[in-house]
Structure 1
Amino acid sequence: MQSPADPGLPHTRARAVHWLATAAAVAAVAALAALVQPEGATARPGDPLPRATGGPDPETVSYPLDCGPHDTAVTHSAQVDLDGDGRTETVAAVRCDAGGGTPPHGLYLLTGRADGAVVVAETLVDPGEGMIVEELTAADGTLRAVLLAYSSPDVPRSEPDLHGEATWNWRDGRLVIDQAAPPVPAFHT
């Protein structure tokens, strides 16, 4: 136990200069993060997700995802005419809305039926694989997803350490995964 006369080890005492230096460093990182945005990005933190245009609405679907007492949350969606039939499909990244942690995503291809119902036509990434969809884009009939995952059960669920990409295209009457980069450590240099 430390006595009031013993101030402790020098490296354990926080001085005002230490707090000011830490605050300045955090502010600089936050300012830099606010300025650096992907090309074409317009969303800001707190902005609602863009709504589907032309394709099925991802909010109207019952997903094959067991969330127990929790609802599902659509975190990303993209619209694209994958099969070239002139009708836009929607791809939705969906997870359980557990309110904490980083639940895995499912990635689903949605189509509209003749009766107007929206259905899951195909599961592109199964939630059982434990992946997190970080980014989802669609252009020129191609779908691209950036995926995060964990190298072991010991990795904190808030810090995925694997990174990979997958690209899908329509070929020979079906959706084909054209490129699936193997997950690699996200912080590997």
Structure 2
Amino acid sequence: MQQSAVPELAHTQTRPIHWVATATAVAGVVALSSVVQPGSATAAQTAPATRTQSAPAAAAPPSTTGVAFPLQCGPVKAIVVKKTTGDLDGDGRPETVAVVHCDAPMGTPPDGVYVLTRSAGSPKPRVVATLVDPKDRFTVTDFAIREGTVAATLLGYSSDDVPSCCPDVKTPATWRWNGSAFLRSTPAGAHSV
């Protein structure tokens, strides 16, 4: 057997003092790491002379507050029950589409659906289109704007004999701006409820 060129190690047996020294060293590293923190990380490096230019702020959609909707409510007021926003005409400014009805104390008042816009220089919104007229006696559900198209489900009546509480016709409808007006399309198969 060949003898080792390195003398025997004196620390081949651990003693309690070795564990105390190791624990003290680990505690020192942990304490030091909590005091010394690295800088915040970034996903991309920026060059020192690089300037960033912010995009122009998006135009805020028209508010429904204070708008005179073309709705005859008598002694009660008109209330906005649903609204959604989106760019319907592709001009980069959002429009607001609102479902409005009279705040009737009883029954189910018919809904009107109105498109609001605001001219570039005017802060006041205005009604530019009526998609559903309240005199047609529809209640609007499933209301949304998807890819520049207004979509809704219209609950209506097959005749004047059907009580207002119980619409019996359910019709999906969509409206899309064609450059001069909103065109309504109704998928085939409107059905009774």
Residue 103 of structure 2 corresponds to 97
Runs of 5+ consecutive residues of structure 2 not aligned to the other structure? 1-58
Residue 77 of structure 2 corresponds to 71
CA–CA distance in 2 between the matches of 1:170 and 1:185?
Answer: 28
Percent identical pairs in the alignment equals: 42
CA–CA distance in 1 between the matches of 2:71 and 2:181?
Answer: 23
Deviation at 1:183, TM superposition (A): 4.3
- The one of 106, 109, 112 aligned to 2:115: 109
Q: Which amino acid aligns with 2:164?
A: R
Deviation at 1:184, TM superposition (A): 2.4
Aligned partner of residue 60 in structure 1, secondary structure: coil
CA–CA distance in 1 between the matches of 2:189 and 2:134?
Answer: 17
Against the structure 1 CA distance between its residues 180 and 56, is the aligned structure 2 distance closer, same or farther, given a 3 Å change threshold?
Answer: farther
Task: Determine whether 1:86 maps to 2:92.
Answer: yes
Aligned partner of residue 102 in structure 1, secondary structure: coil
Task: Determine whether 1:134 maps to 2:141.
Answer: yes
Contact 2:85 2:95 in 1 (8 A): yes
> How many equivalent pairs are there?
134
Deviation at 1:182, TM superposition (A): 6.4
Per-residue CA deviations over 1:167-189 (Å, capped at 9, x if unaligned) read 11122443222335564211xxx
* Alignment TM-score, normalising by the size of structure 1: 0.65
Runs of 5+ consecutive residues of structure 1 not aligned to the other structure? 1-52
- The one of 121, 128, 137 aligned to 2:128: 121
Aligned partner of residue 135 in structure 2, secondary structure: helix
* Alignment TM-score, normalising by the size of structure 2: 0.64
Q: Which amino acid aligns with 1:154?
A: D
Instruction: Please say which of residues 169-178 and 120-129 is displaced more in the overlay.
Output: 169-178
Deviation at 1:157, TM superposition (A): 1.3
Aligned partner of residue 103 in structure 1, secondary structure: coil
Q: Which amino acid aligns with 1:62?
A: A
Against the structure 1 CA distance between its residues 152 and 134, is the aligned structure 2 distance closer, same or farther, given a 3 Å change threshold?
Answer: same
Contact 1:76 1:135 in 2 (8 A): no
Contact 1:150 1:162 in 2 (8 A): yes
- The one of 179, 187, 192 aligned to 1:185: 192
Structure that is richer in strand per residue: 1
Residue 156 of structure 1 corresponds to 163
Against the structure 1 CA distance between its residues 151 and 173, is the aligned structure 2 distance closer, same or farther, given a 3 Å change threshold?
Answer: closer
Per-residue CA deviations over 1:24-58 (Å, capped at 9, x if unaligned) read xxxxxxxxxxxxxxxxxxxxxxxxxxxxx931112
CA–CA distance in 2 between the matches of 1:112 and 1:77?
Answer: 16
Task: Determine whether 1:62 maps to 2:64.
Answer: no
CA–CA distance in 1 between the matches of 2:156 and 2:112?
Answer: 13
CA–CA distance in 2 between the matches of 1:184 and 1:61?
Answer: 34
Aligned partner of residue 65 in structure 2, secondary structure: helix
